[in-house]
Every structure is written in C-alpha cells, then in structure tokens.
Amino acid sequence: MKSWPRNDGFTALWSYPWDLLAEGLETSLGRIAAAGLKGISLAVSYHAGMLLLPHNPQQKVRFLEDGAVYFRPRPERFAGLAIQPRVSALADGVDPLEAICAAAQRHGLQVVAWTVCCHNSHQGERHPDLALHNAFGDPYPFALCPCQPAVQDYLQALLQDLGRYPLRALQLESFGYMGFYHGYHHEKILLNVGPLSAFMLGLCFCPACRRQAEAEGIEAGALQEAVQRYLLAAFEGEVAEPERFSREALLEAVPGLEGYLRMRDDVVTRLVQRLARASAVPLSLLATGPNMAELQAYIAEATACAYRAQPEEVIRNVRAARAAVGPDVRLAIGLEATPRLSPSAENLAAKVRAAWEAGAEGLYFYNYGLMPLRSLGWLAQALGQ
C-alpha cells in the first residue's frame, strides 16, 4: 500500500465538479490554490441533494442527479455486473474528472476522489433486493447493503476504473452499513424513537446478511424476531430506553446481537480489504471504520469529521478520533468552513490551530461550492497563520 509522510500537512477542500466547471477551472482552482490549499477532494460518485450555491455563476440552487458518477466509466469494467453506473449529464461529451485533474496539476493541486459508496437511492430503487432490509423486511432504497456480493462487485469495479486517473487517494464515504435516519423526502417520524430503537431499525436482515450470519453459526431468524418484538414494544411505549446509545444497553435489550454485530463489522472489514487490494490508488476512509487494527495495512488514511463551532470541541473530537483509529493510522480531520459553524475568520483560524495541535496529520474543509467567497478568504488567513 502506498502511504504518505505522516507530517506532510496536506490540506484539501471538498469540492463539487459542477461548481468548478461553472466558474471555469482556471478561476475556481486558481482561487483554491491561492488560498494556500494543497489539494481538492472532488465528488466523483455522489448522492441526491438540494444545494444552495452562493457563488456559482450559473445557478444558486441545484438539485443533484441521484447516485451519479462524475467521470466517464469504461463500459468493459462493468460488463456483466448487476449494477451499472449512472453517468452524470456533466460527462456528456467530456470527462469532468480528467479535465479537473489536468487543471489541478497546472495549479499545483493534488486531487482526491471523494467516492460515495453504498449511499445510492438511484441504485437502491432499481435494485431493492440489494438494499438494506430492516427486521420487518422493509427495504431502504437509500442504502445498498455492503454484504451483498453484487454491491461489492460494483464498488470494486468503480474503484478500479478510477485508478486510471492521477489521484492522490480514493476517499471512501458510506463504505459500510448505513442506519435508519437519512432525511428522506417528506420524512414523517412522529414517534419518540429512542437510540436503541433507531439503531435496531437500521440493522440489516437482507438475505445476504442472514446467509453470512448462518454461515457463522448465528441464528439470524431468531435474532430478527427478537428485534421485531423489541421494536413493536417500543412503538407502544412499553420499554424504557436510555437517553444515549451504548453497546452494553443494546446487548442487554437483545442479548443475542453481539455475534451479529461482530459479523457486520467483519463484513465491512473484509470489503475494505478487498477494495484496497483491487485499487491502484491508496484508500482514505471518510470515517473511523470497525476493526481499525485490521485495516491499517490496507489504508493510507482515516478522516474523521469535527464539524464543531468551538475550538475546544474540535480538540475533543480529534483526540477521540485518534483513540478510535489507533496510533499507527494517519489521521486527517474534516472541518466545516462555512458560516454556519465557522462564523468568523478568528473562529476558523482557532479551530485550524486546535486541530493541528491536537494531532491532526491532514485537514479537509467543507465545502467550496457551499461556502461564500468570504469564507474562502478566511480559510486563506487560517492556513497562512
């Protein structure tokens, strides 16, 4: 596995291709380079959304193509696979990733490919059999199940196809199991769903997960029924849930779940290892995944987000992330640089200092297209301090 020096101080700005292209690559990437950043983390596979874009010259509100890829995949790479990539309209007649990589090199910027994996409503709606299924058998179309062989095959092909571009890393988001809460269109949840119920509603009992559990000697059917019973009682207010989630409280509520949770962790670990072996580009995990000790030889970096308003909160998040990933994994930290959580130049600069001093080995900032240009100016000041 290719790795980088632990102390290279890499900084990057999460960016969307539509914003960079709308402004012109020389303008947008020139601004980013002038702000003192060393790279961009560019969305190359992304989910649905409605975005307010304060400095995009073509549109101020954009509704995204659901589950699209923002490059031109090679059809032969995906031949015979159940899941086929949805190619963005931005790639009609041109390869956005190729053009952006070339322009980034001219401006001295490295490119990280920000790759959303299992969070894909477009594919989940077309392949409900490959989505997460809760204990009652309901599919969650926004979440592909990482245990499904067809999902794993698609993700491997996606990462291998991205390997032909000049990338610093593939930054993987939603590479594991998603949960119940998502923020779906017109979501209506009028019960007081406690933390244990929310977690159990996110447990997947699709056929692939059940088969894997049974192969490991776990009675998946009995566990599924136990989760159903708990949730039905919780819906009627017949159980008292703790205010905060803990694994201990979960296992007390449904004692047999320990093996099932371990099985899920192992599924994600094996998937990341498989993707790392297949990828020509180093992997950066946009999360602290399970079994980090088993992943450290397969990944170049783990990125934990510290989207906080105050520097002391950032310090706590960095220290917690370091404890989660262990001492031997390069740790990058994500900071939100928009006015919502960084309302002044002084506040942003203090959080940048706090992250470095607490042990961050790289910084990613959210997000070029979503921030006003004054925030980019504040970021330049923070990086130049």
| pLDDT band per the 50, 70, 90 thresholds, residue 264 | very high
207-252: per-residue pLDDT in tens? 999 999 999 999 999 999 999 999 999 999 999 999 999 999 999 9
- DSSP characters over 225-245: HHHHHHHHHHHTT-S---SS-
Average pLDDT of the residues in 131-144: 97
Distance, in Å, from the CA atom of 62 to the CA atom of 83, rounded to the nearest integer, reads 26
Could you tell me which residues come within 8 angstroms of residue 78 by beta carbon, excluding any fewer than 6 positions away?
84, 85, 154, 157, 161
4-49: per-residue pLDDT in tens? 778 789 999 999 999 999 999 999 999 999 999 999 999 999 999 9
Q: Find the helix or strand (DSSP H, E) in which 34 lies.
A: helix 25-34
pLDDT score recorded for residue 385: 65
- Residue-range domain boundaries for the chain: 10-185+267-299
Which tokens belong to 271? Answer: 């998937």
pLDDT score recorded for residue 183: 66
Q: Find the helix or strand (DSSP H, E) in which 173 lies.
A: strand 169-173
Distance, in Å, from the CA atom of 65 to the CA atom of 90, rounded to the nearest integer, reads 10
Range with the lowest mean pLDDT among 7-11, 59-63, 165-169, 299-303? Answer: 7-11
Specify whether the CB–CB gap between 18 and 56 falls below 8 A: yes
Percent of the chain with pLDDT over 70: 98
Q: How far is CA 322 from CA 6, 291, 292, in A?
A: 13, 14, 11
C-alpha count within 13 angstroms, C-beta hemisphere, residue 152: 17
pLDDT score recorded for residue 288: 81
**DSSP conformational letter for 273:** H
Could you tell me which residues come within 8 angstroms of residue 140 by beta carbon, excluding any fewer than 6 positions away?
124, 131, 132, 133, 134, 178, 180, 182
Distance, in Å, from the CA atom of 39 to the CA atom of 4, rounded to the nearest integer, reads 14
Distance, in Å, from the CA atom of 197 to the CA atom of 235, rounded to the nearest integer, reads 9
Which tokens belong to 130? Answer: 């490959």
pLDDT score recorded for residue 3: 67
| pLDDT band per the 50, 70, 90 thresholds, residue 307 | very high
pLDDT at 312 over 70: yes
Q: Which fold has domain 10-185+267-299?
A: TIM Barrel (3.20.20)
| pLDDT band per the 50, 70, 90 thresholds, residue 257 | very high
pLDDT score recorded for residue 8: 87
Q: Tally the residues of the chain.
A: 385
Average pLDDT of the residues in 318-344: 95
